[in-house]
Structure 1
Amino acid sequence: MQHINKWRRFNGDELQRPIVDEITDMLNSEREAGNDLKVCIGTDSQVKGRITEFATVIVFLRQGKGGFMFIHNFTTQRKMSIKERMLEEVGRSIEVAYSLCHIFTAYNVDMEVHADINTNPNFRSNDALKEAMGYIMGMGFTFRAKPYAFASTSCANKIVH
């Protein structure tokens, strides 16, 4: 990934090593602490004038013990339709999921990709639902959309607003 060292923790601390190394070490320490983890990856975006800001999150849930996340932000001035933006969000999440899935498989950690797309056809984001679902599931990942896509709709959403 080109933006391998631009990840940070929720408190703002930038990761000093590649995300792959950070996650591998974290999975080892979580395993030693006896924690069962689940990973949810999602992206949200916000248009602010001529700039669109994206936030991708890797959310780690400790079963019954809360969670934590890593965050990556990206901005572009490229003008996009709502459908293009939704599919860009999904593409960013898939890029991250694909680059990390070998680690999660090795540690037997379940992973989901969350899309900030409404399943209700009355919402404009619904235009991208079929493509997003096909893209995510076609890559072999578990797909979640609203209202079950909290990584994108709640976690990443807080970062870009």
Structure 2
Amino acid sequence: MEKRKQWRRLNGSIVEAAIEDEVRNVLLQAQEQGHAMKVCIGTDSQVKGGITEFATVIVFLRKGKGGFMYIHNETSQRKMAIKERMLEEVTKSIEIAYELCSLFTAFNVDMEVHADINTSPGFKSNDALKEAMGYIMGMGFVFRAKPHAFASTNCADKAVH
């Protein structure tokens, strides 16, 4: 049996339910309360010594009523070049977006995948921009890169230890 990813809320409390069930409950509650929702999914990473830590976030925005997020952290000991690490971040975001997209479709919720990749050619992460954009859009998702990728560049960035 595959080990289920451990998700937590920003306050640190652990999500006991499967993330699909948790998201379904969030969307049902938002629907009952009449909130227009939008979801942004992003991943950021940080290298410390020989370990790369990834933080993936699911950010829920209630139009005009603030937002909240769920966080999943994982580590890798594999050494990666910057481009490979950027594409690994995108892969982690796409995996959760794909896992949850049928729920977002069923509840008519807009969803974006955010990549922590700079659109300016002067930055190293820009080497992965074309591939990341093609990967995300090829999966049928809305793509956002810096400076419009707040889920990865701000939210997930704060969740990487």
Provide the TM-score with structure 2 as the length reference: 0.97
Q: Distance in 2 between matches of 1:3 and 1:114?
A: 26
Aligned to 2:152: 152
Aligned to 1:131: 131
Aligned to 2:83: 83
Deviations 1:42-87 (A, max 9, x none): 0000001111000000000000111000000000110000000000
Q: Once the two structures are aligned, what percentage of the paired residues are identical?
A: 71
Letter matched to residue 62 of structure 2 = R
Shift of 1:4: 3.2
3-state SS in 2 of match to 1:122 = coil
Letter matched to residue 124 of structure 1 = K
Q: Please tell me whether residue 16 in structure 1 is matched to residue 13 in structure 2.
A: no
Unpaired runs of 5+ residues, structure 1, are none
Provide the TM-score with structure 1 as the length reference: 0.97
Decide whether the 8 Å contact of 1:5 with 1:17 is kept in 2.
Answer: no
Q: Distance in 2 between matches of 1:115 and 1:95?
A: 13
3-state SS in 2 of match to 1:152 = helix
Q: Distance in 1 between matches of 2:141 and 2:25?
A: 23
Counterparts in 2 of 1:1-161, with a 5 A limit? 2=2, 4-161=4-161
Letter matched to residue 61 of structure 2 = L
Letter matched to residue 6 of structure 1 = Q
3-state SS in 1 of match to 2:41 = strand
Q: Distance in 2 between matches of 1:115 and 1:136?
A: 9
Decide whether the 8 Å contact of 1:4 with 1:19 is kept in 2.
Answer: no
Q: Distance in 1 between matches of 2:67 and 2:17?
A: 21
- Report how many aligned residue pairs link the two structures: 160
Letter matched to residue 64 of structure 1 = G
